[in-house]
A and B are shown apart, each in its own frame.
Chain A
Amino acid sequence: MKKRGKWLALALVAALAVTTVGCGSGKKESKGEKGASEEIKDLVTYEVPQREMENVFVLNTEMAADLNVLCNTNEGFLETNPKGQLVAGIAKEWGTEDNGLTWTFKMRDDVKWVDQQGNEKADMVADDFVTALEWILNAHKNDAGNNTSMPISMIKGAKEYREYTKSLSADEALKLDKSKFLEMVGIETPDDYTVVYHCIAETPYFDTVAVCACLYPISQGFIDEVGVENVKSVGIDKLWYNGPYILTEFIQGNTKTLTKNESYWDKDCKLFDTVTIKLVEDVTVGYSLYDTGEIDTIDLAEANLRAIYEDENNQYHDYLTEKLPNKFSYQMKFNYAKKNEDGSDDTNWNTAIANEAFRQSIYYGLDLTKTYERANMINPLSCENTAYTMKGLVYFSDGTDYVDRVEELIELPESNGKKMRRLDKEKAEELKKQAIEELSAKGVKFPVEMDYYIPAGSQLALDSATVLQENFAECLGDDYIKLNIGTYVSSLTQEVIDPSLQSVVMNGWGADYGDVQNFLGQETYGEETAYYSMNYTNINDATDPELIATWKEFTDLVNKANAITGDLDERYEAYAQAEAYMLKHAMTIPYNLEISWQLSKINDYSVSHAIYGMQNAKYKNWETSVDAYTTEDYEKFAEEFNK
């Protein structure tokens, strides 16, 4: 057996040597003529099976896995650019004149709907937006209720219309025409190319909702063609398309192919002839596919990254490029009303976490560098998350990023490139002492047990959790906090969150729309709309009066900011104050940003990079190169981008 093993190892080494030699020579050639390098015509990219597409009808889904494809086949009013700002798309101009109570979108008149063969089916008109919103709000048409939450909370009459359709029988609701809808809901079409929305309250950020599926259009002609009851379940061959691509092939579990839409309105933009998205078991398999040239970009797993980085002679050594952060800002969210497995309250944890010094000792004391190294061994500190809101969400009128202002308010030291910015060992030591003193008096037993849950089959999650566990032990001491790793089989919500078993969850929020309220509003006290308070932190079930007072204060600050709708700078400043308060009291602790490394033939700095919306995977105006980009290339791109 052993002999066989050796033989195989030898064969593999020989194989690797052959490929290394082969590609090594190619590398030399490509370096010289980089400037003139060709662009890719047919892009091939990948996705892992957990993120396979489930729905093909854009209004019927909120899942990123679906929308990453469908944002190419369907288009709404606006688009987002690499800086994450809104730019004109189908809407030539848009705006509000009353602090966001009514919003007007003026459309282009040359947009067509086409079928899968690319035949023109209809012109796109204002009515298409009415048709779509009616479909979403009609409880019998859209019985799954996807995409309803934002319109209901923002658009006048939306909630009432949904209630009204609920009261109808299925038959009646399916047959409804738009007269009743137009009468009840705050949407109107003064002419064929203008849409006006009336919001419930002043909503200065309403236009950022236009890049979400809930404000996407569908054509009445399409509904008539397939029949209203079949809209949700038609295949890709019967869909109508108005985006830059047509979904010409969808083989579940294998391939999705997008083909350029010849009738697309934007004649000057850069599109690929085809984009093929292949399903790849995991990034390790993906890496060998990149190696053989079967895909054009690959995220590097820890082992591959290490192998390439540490070996100067590796053919990809000069081609490592750092990705931009994705749109999620990860936080450590504590559970303030944790339960034991038998359903009783976990008093020890609940008392401990309610103590501010205890939380702050984690904030200042926990060095996460090693955790960051797992994803980004080259540049771990770039993964440090400093605030609750994601960088790049909103900017002050002078161009300052909102998050920079928050950092200023919490007096975060500048990075010295050696340790995490917020780390302060001495302060943490003091706080720890204080917490032990205060909590011992309340009868808390040390070490405080902290339960953290990961998916059962994932070795990656287990490895990260093990490293985190050791981070806790090293930085704060085994005798103070002990991280326990638990597992769930299939659903975190079902198995852990609902019975409230977790002490902490590391969770990233991806914004629905471009306003700080969308971030901070999830953490407020006593409000049903606050997603995290209602589900993860259970703050509303907490009993500690001091803790509740802190939360109420924070909630007041957020609501004060919400009320400011006229002057956006003032609004953002008020939010920044609220967020600084939150961070200073360590109500949640910023965890990380996801910044990993890749080998790629795509220039990420040319790709839409919005914190909100669904268009970051829209393959429009992407810069690519047949020869992979080098680390140097990317440094140049970054420099230009940040100018």
Chain B
Amino acid sequence: MFKYTIKRLLQSVVTVLIVVTIVFLLMRMLPTDYFFTEDQLMKFTPEQKEEQLQAAGLLDPMPKQLVRYYGQLLKFDFGESRRIQNGVDVVSVIGDKFTISMKLGCTALVISLFVGILIGIIQTLNKDRILDHVGTAYTIFVNAVPSLVSYSLVLAFGSKVLGLPSLYSTRNPSETSILPIVCLSLASIASYALWTRRYMVDELNKDYIKLARVKGTSSAGIMIKHVFKNAFVPLAQYVPASFLYTIGGSLLVERFFSVPGMGPLLTDAIVRYDVNVVQTLVVLYAVLGTLGVFLGDILMMLLDPRIKLTGKGGTR
């Protein structure tokens, strides 16, 4: 187990490194003029431009730039932001946003886990009856309506009818977070309900449940002790990853409600050619991505003793 963990971690480091290198090279494929604002492009003479590019180290040969970048990475020096917040350390730019996104995301996730699983259980208990169909209709509806539309509706309904504030404010985070959290939860409630129902129904058809029934175990006992516990295992695999991914924020939701989170940061940074921010974000996402999968595997193993992780990565 220990050996396996180490091996997986090392593999992840290699993956992250390759990803970072690719993004580094991709960003440098853009013409250097993106380094400047529209105003600067017009006002600067070619010599001035070259001077600045030189100062930023963008004119050095690529291998030299890469080596320098690796050196900085080793020291966990991610550099300064250029355009998002000029001169501010990238880590602190991201740090502020990261907590906000994570708070919103985790709240939404906890709510959706709770509500989603509850709906799923209710659906299973009422299988093929009216409540089940209502639940299915909800999941289909949420999946069918484009998020752009459903967010607009939530925004309009929430602010016009319920009088909820539609702009996120750090001074009044609890009230102003309601609408963003509703938007964030809409889809994930549906998906948790869907999968809970699917897994529980699958489980119900298994022979051991039938046996338990025959032996006279109470219906509620079966549900809680066997069905739900076993159905939760495949679901659990994605939970840690989901928590981690909340750090990334949601582009659309955060834009809609002006949440100063991570969601719009990546696009903003790319469009403004804030290379350090882009690279740091990619490192972060890559680490989160690999870590999420890894944690999921471990959690699944802990929950279900039958599952053994082998060095091969397994078939998930």
Does a CB–CB distance below 8 Å link A and B in the complex? yes
A145's partner among B33, B44, B160, B169 (CB-CB below 8 A) is: B44
Q: Which of B43, B88, B96, B167 has the most CB of A within 10 A?
A: B167
A288's partner among B84, B96, B159 (CB-CB below 8 A) is: B159
Contact with A along B97-127 (1 / 0, CB 8 A): 1000000000000000000000000000000
**Are B38 and A493 touching (Cβ within 8 A)?**
yes
**Are A143 and B52 touching (Cβ within 8 A)?**
yes
Q: Indicate whether B302 reaches chain A with its CB closer than 8 angstroms.
A: no
Q: Which residues of chain A (7-60) have a CB below 8 Å from chain B?
A: 8, 11-12, 15-16, 18-19, 49, 54-57, 60
* Nearest-CB residue, chain B, relative to A534: B42
- A243 CB → nearest B CB, Å: 19
Residues of A within 8 A of B163 (CB): 292
Q: How far is the CA of A278 from the CA of B42 in the complex (A)?
A: 30
Q: How far is the CA of A291 from the CA of B55 in the complex (A)?
A: 49
Residues of A within 8 A of B166 (CB): 285, 288-289, 292, 294
Q: How far is the CA of A637 from the CA of B26 in the complex (A)?
A: 55
Query: With A8-B153, A55-B86, A143-B55 in contact, do A19 and B258 touch (Cβ < 8 Å)?
Result: no
**Are A15 and B258 touching (Cβ within 8 A)?**
no
Query: With A4-B141, A254-B259, A492-B38 in contact, do A294 and B165 touch (Cβ < 8 Å)?
Result: yes
Q: Indicate whether A280 reaches chain B with its CB closer than 8 angstroms.
A: yes
Q: Indicate whether B34 reaches chain A with its CB closer than 8 angstroms.
A: yes
**Are B160 and A54 touching (Cβ within 8 A)?**
no
Query: With A4-B141, A63-B37, A145-B52 in contact, do A294 and B260 touch (Cβ < 8 Å)?
Result: no
Residues of B within 8 A of A492 (CB): 38
- A163 CB → nearest B CB, Å: 11
Query: With A54-B84, A63-B37, A233-B88 in contact, do A253 and B260 touch (Cβ < 8 Å)?
Result: yes
Q: Indicate whether A559 reaches chain B with its CB closer than 8 angstroms.
A: no
Q: Which residues of chain B (228-262) have a CB below 8 Å from chain A?
A: 254-256, 258-261
Q: Indicate whether A498 reaches chain B with its CB closer than 8 angstroms.
A: yes
**Are A493 and B33 touching (Cβ within 8 A)?**
yes
Q: Which residues of chain A (226-278) have a CB below 8 Å from chain B?
A: 232-235, 251-255, 278
Q: Indicate whether A1 reaches chain B with its CB closer than 8 angstroms.
A: yes
Q: Indicate whether B87 reaches chain A with its CB closer than 8 angstroms.
A: yes
Q: Which residues of chain B (127-159) have a CB below 8 Å from chain A?
A: 141, 144, 153, 155-157, 159
* Nearest-CB residue, chain B, relative to A235: B88
Q: How far is the CA of A125 from the CA of B95 in the complex (A)?
A: 39
Q: Indicate whether B217 reaches chain A with its CB closer than 8 angstroms.
A: no
Summed over the interface, the residue pairs from A and B with CB atoms below 8 Å come to a total of: 128
Q: Which residues of chain A (185-219) have a CB below 8 Å from chain B?
A: none
Q: Indicate whether A535 reaches chain B with its CB closer than 8 angstroms.
A: yes
* Nearest-CB residue, chain B, relative to A4: B141
Q: Indicate whether A179 reaches chain B with its CB closer than 8 angstroms.
A: no
**Are B96 and A11 touching (Cβ within 8 A)?**
no
Residues of A within 8 A of B297 (CB): none
Interface residues on B, range: 35 or more
Q: Which residues of chain A (279-319) have a CB below 8 Å from chain B?
A: 279-281, 285, 288-289, 291-292, 294
Residues of B within 8 A of A294 (CB): 165-167
Q: Indicate whether A62 reaches chain B with its CB closer than 8 angstroms.
A: yes
- B211 CB → nearest A CB, Å: 43
Residues of B within 8 A of A416 (CB): none
Q: Indicate whether A94 reaches chain B with its CB closer than 8 angstroms.
A: no
- B147 CB → nearest A CB, Å: 15
**Are B156 and A12 touching (Cβ within 8 A)?**
yes
Q: How far is the CA of A8 from the CA of B160 in the complex (A)?
A: 13
**Are B52 and A144 touching (Cβ within 8 A)?**
yes
**Are A232 and B86 touching (Cβ within 8 A)?**
yes
* Nearest-CB residue, chain A, relative to B92: A235
Residues of A within 8 A of B170 (CB): 251, 254-255
Query: With A149-B43, A280-B258, A494-B41 in contact, do A288 and B156 touch (Cβ < 8 Å)?
Result: yes
- B268 CB → nearest A CB, Å: 8
Q: Indicate whether A222 reaches chain B with its CB closer than 8 angstroms.
A: no
Q: Indicate whether B48 reaches chain A with its CB closer than 8 angstroms.
A: yes
Q: How far is the CA of A63 from the CA of B40 in the complex (A)?
A: 10
Q: How far is the CA of A18 from the CA of B256 in the complex (A)?
A: 24
Q: How far is the CA of A55 from the CA of B141 in the complex (A)?
A: 45
- B272 CB → nearest A CB, Å: 8
Query: With A232-B87, A278-B167 in contact, do A288 and B160 touch (Cβ < 8 Å)?
Result: yes
**Are B160 and A279 touching (Cβ within 8 A)?**
no
- A43 CB → nearest B CB, Å: 15
**Are A15 and B264 touching (Cβ within 8 A)?**
no
Q: How far is the CA of A254 from the CA of B170 in the complex (A)?
A: 9
- B88 CB → nearest A CB, Å: 6
**Are A233 and B97 touching (Cβ within 8 A)?**
no
**Are A253 and B37 touching (Cβ within 8 A)?**
no
Q: Indicate whether A531 reaches chain B with its CB closer than 8 angstroms.
A: yes
**Are B52 and A251 touching (Cβ within 8 A)?**
no
Q: Indicate whether A397 reaches chain B with its CB closer than 8 angstroms.
A: no
Q: Indicate whether A491 reaches chain B with its CB closer than 8 angstroms.
A: yes
Q: Indicate whether B192 reaches chain A with its CB closer than 8 angstroms.
A: no
Residues of B within 8 A of A251 (CB): 96, 170, 260
Q: Indicate whether B93 reaches chain A with its CB closer than 8 angstroms.
A: yes
Residues of A within 8 A of B260 (CB): 251-255
Q: Indicate whether A458 reaches chain B with its CB closer than 8 angstroms.
A: no
Q: Which of A4, A60, A234, A285 has the most CB of B within 10 A?
A: A285
Residues of A within 8 A of B51 (CB): 143, 145
Q: Which residues of chain A (49-80) have a CB below 8 Å from chain B?
A: 49, 54-57, 60-63
Q: Indicate whether A490 reaches chain B with its CB closer than 8 angstroms.
A: yes
Query: With A1-B144, A144-B52, A252-B85 in contact, do A494 and B34 touch (Cβ < 8 Å)?
Result: yes
**Are A233 and B264 touching (Cβ within 8 A)?**
no
Q: How far is the CA of A288 from the CA of B169 in the complex (A)?
A: 16
- A214 CB → nearest B CB, Å: 12
- B192 CB → nearest A CB, Å: 22
Q: How far is the CA of A55 from the CA of B85 in the complex (A)?
A: 6
A233's partner among B86, B144, B153 (CB-CB below 8 A) is: B86
* Nearest-CB residue, chain A, relative to B87: A233
Residues of B within 8 A of A490 (CB): 34, 271
**Are B42 and A280 touching (Cβ within 8 A)?**
no
Residues of A within 8 A of B84 (CB): 54, 252
Q: Indicate whether B83 reaches chain A with its CB closer than 8 angstroms.
A: yes
Residues of B within 8 A of A19 (CB): 160
Residues of B within 8 A of A234 (CB): 87
Contact with B along A89-103 (1 / 0, CB 8 A): 000000000000000
Residues of A within 8 A of B169 (CB): 254-255
Q: How far is the CA of A146 from the CA of B144 in the complex (A)?
A: 50
**Are B264 and A253 touching (Cβ within 8 A)?**
yes
Instruction: Please list the residues of chain A having a beta carbon within 8 angstroms of any beta carbon in chain B.
Output: 1, 4, 8, 11-12, 15-16, 18-19, 49, 54-57, 60-63, 143-146, 149, 232-235, 251-255, 278-281, 285, 288-289, 291-292, 294, 490-494, 498, 531, 535
* 6 CB < 8 A contacts A-B: A145-B40, A253-B260, A253-B261, A288-B159, A491-B34, A494-B41
Given contacts A251-B96, A254-B260, 20 further A-B contacts (CB under 8 A): A4-B141, A15-B161, A18-B161, A49-B255, A49-B258, A62-B39, A143-B55, A145-B44, A145-B48, A233-B80, A233-B88, A235-B88, A252-B93, A254-B168, A254-B169, A278-B258, A289-B159, A491-B33, A493-B42, A531-B43
Instruction: Please list the residues of chain B having a beta carbon within 8 angstroms of any beta carbon in chain A.
Output: 31, 33-34, 37-44, 48, 51-52, 55, 80, 83-88, 93, 96-97, 141, 144, 153, 155-157, 159-161, 163, 165-170, 254-256, 258-261, 264-265, 268, 271
Query: Closest 6 A-B residue pairs measured CB to CB?
Result: A233-B87, A254-B260, A253-B260, A15-B161, A55-B86, A493-B41
